[in-house]
Amino acid sequence: ETGVTQTPRHLVMGMTNKKSLKCEQHLGHNAMYWYKQSAKKPLELMFVYNFKEQTENNSVPSRFSPECPNSSHLFLHLHTLQPEDSALYLCASSQDLSRPGGPSGTGELFFGEGSRLTVL
Amino acid sequence: GENVEQHPSTLSVQEGDSAVIKCTYSDSASNYFPWYKQELGKRPQLIIDIRSNVGEKKDQRIAVTLNKTAKHFSLHITETQPEDSAVYFCAASLSNFGNEKLTFGTGTRLTIIP
């Protein structure tokens, strides 16, 4: 299944490093998301790109910087992270109908397999 | 904003028995309630959803019920099988098809005992 692919699958970085997570979707969707999944916590929405515009950032620290060059690709740039940022970062896409006149779809979130990040 | 609480956090069920997971939400305007299943080491996947104009929805061994007055919804799995073992997440949203306001519960780890 290659609908939403994420790279790298695992990443270990020091607090002073700069790295990027990449997500690509092959489903023709118009919305892409970054979620953070930590143990015993709900899935936390970090960023939403709808029609390539960022519509939600949920007060995420500036050490996380998203980039969406087109509707199929989404990046999460990481710099000067903290150990508590260690988590599974999930990318997702969907066909978003929140705008009138948009194409039809279920709104279902299609997730990638995640990038497991460890900050030392 | 919306707050979704999910119980129990862990659940063990004998194979063949039924499992029930319950969620409550705080915002009475929420109108879309999906359930996602995440098997160990895999991605979350939508298994069933319900919208506020429906009280119950079934798909083979899985059913979801919604009580808008009480603001709670539940996932029911009948005749459980080993492949049902996973973490299940409920969620609630203010929009039927937009996911910007989708709030997830903390998850329930379901273990099916052979």
Summarize pLDDT for A64-108 with one digit per residue, the tens. 999 999 989 999 999 999 999 999 999 999 987 665 555 555 578
Name the residue among B32, B96, B104 with its Cβ closest to that of A43: B104
User: Which residues from B are below 8 Å from A41, CB to CB?
Assistant: 106
| Contact criterion met (CB < 8 Å) for A50 and B100 | yes
Query: Residues B11-33: pLDDT tens digits?
Result: 999 999 999 999 999 999 888 89
**Contact status of B83 with chain A (Cβ, < 8 Å):** no
| Contact criterion met (CB < 8 Å) for A107 and B97 | yes
**Contact status of B103 with chain A (Cβ, < 8 Å):** yes
| Contact criterion met (CB < 8 Å) for B107 and A45 | no
**What is the Cα–Cα distance from B81 to A6, expressed in whole angstroms?**
30
Q: B100 pLDDT exceeds 70?
A: no
DSSP letter string, chain A: --SEEEE-SEEEE-TT-EEEEEEEE-S--SEEEEEEE-TTS--EEEEEEETTEEEE-TT--TTEEEEEEETTEEEEEEES--GGG-EEEEEEEE----STTPPP-----EE---EEEEE-
Instruction: Check whether the bond before B44 is cis (ω within 30° of 0).
Output: no
Query: Residues A27-66: pLDDT tens digits?
Result: 999 889 999 999 878 899 999 988 777 777 778 999 999 9
pLDDT score, position A54: 78
| Contact criterion met (CB < 8 Å) for B99 and A114 | no
**Contact status of B95 with chain A (Cβ, < 8 Å):** yes
Confidence of residue B96 (pLDDT cuts 50, 70, 90): low
Query: Residues B44-69: pLDDT tens digits?
Result: 999 999 988 779 999 999 999 999 99
